[in-house]
A = this chain, B = another copy of it.
Amino acid sequence: MHTIQELQQIIDKAVKETAYPATPKELYEPISYLMSLGGKRLRPALVLMATDLFGGAIEDAISPALAVELFHNFTLMHDDIMDKAPLRRGKPTVHAKWNEAVAILSGDVMFVKAYQMMIQVKPDILSSVLAIFNETAIGVCEGQQIDMNFECRAQVGIPEYLEMIKLKTAVLLGGALKIGALIGNASEKDAQNLYDFGVNLGIAFQLQDDILDVYGDPEKFGKQVGGDIISNKKTFLLIKALELAKGAKADELNHWLNLKTFDSKEKVKSVTAIYDSLGIRQLSEELMNDFADKAYQALDSIHLPETQKQTLNDFATLLVDREH
Q: List A residues at the B interface (Cβ < 8 Å).
A: 24, 26-27, 78, 81-82, 100-101, 104-105, 108-109, 111-113, 115-116, 119, 123, 126-127, 130-131, 134, 137-138, 141-142, 144-146, 148-149
Contacts and interface: CB of A to CB of B under 8 A. Distances in A.
* Dominant secondary structure of chain A at its interface with chain B: helix
B112 A141 contact: yes
16 contacts: A24-B149, A26-B145, A26-B148, A78-B104, A82-B100, A100-B100, A105-B141, A105-B145, A112-B137, A115-B134, A119-B131, A123-B123, A123-B126, A123-B127, A126-B126, A130-B130
Closest 9 CB pairs of A and B: A82-B101, A24-B145, A112-B137, A109-B141, A116-B134, A119-B130, A27-B145, A112-B138, A115-B134
Nearest to A117: B134
Contacts of A78: 104-105, 108
Contacts of A104: 78, 81-82, 104
Contact of A142 (B27, B100, B148): B27
Nearest to A116: B134
A107 to B, nearest CB: 8
Given A27-B141, A27-B145, A101-B82, A119 B108 contact: no
A300 to B, nearest CB: 33
Contacts of A119: 127, 130-131, 134
Given A27-B141, A81-B101, A108-B137, 15 more contacts: A24-B145, A24-B149, A26-B145, A27-B142, A78-B105, A82-B101, A109-B138, A109-B141, A111-B111, A112-B138, A112-B141, A113-B138, A115-B130, A123-B126, A126-B126
Contacts of A126: 123, 126-127
Nearest to A112: B137
Contact of A108 (B24, B27, B109, B141): B141
Nearest to A103: B104
A82 B111 CA distance: 18
Contacts of A111: 108, 111
B137 A24 contact: no
Contacts of A105: 78, 82, 141, 144-145
A146 B21 CA distance: 14
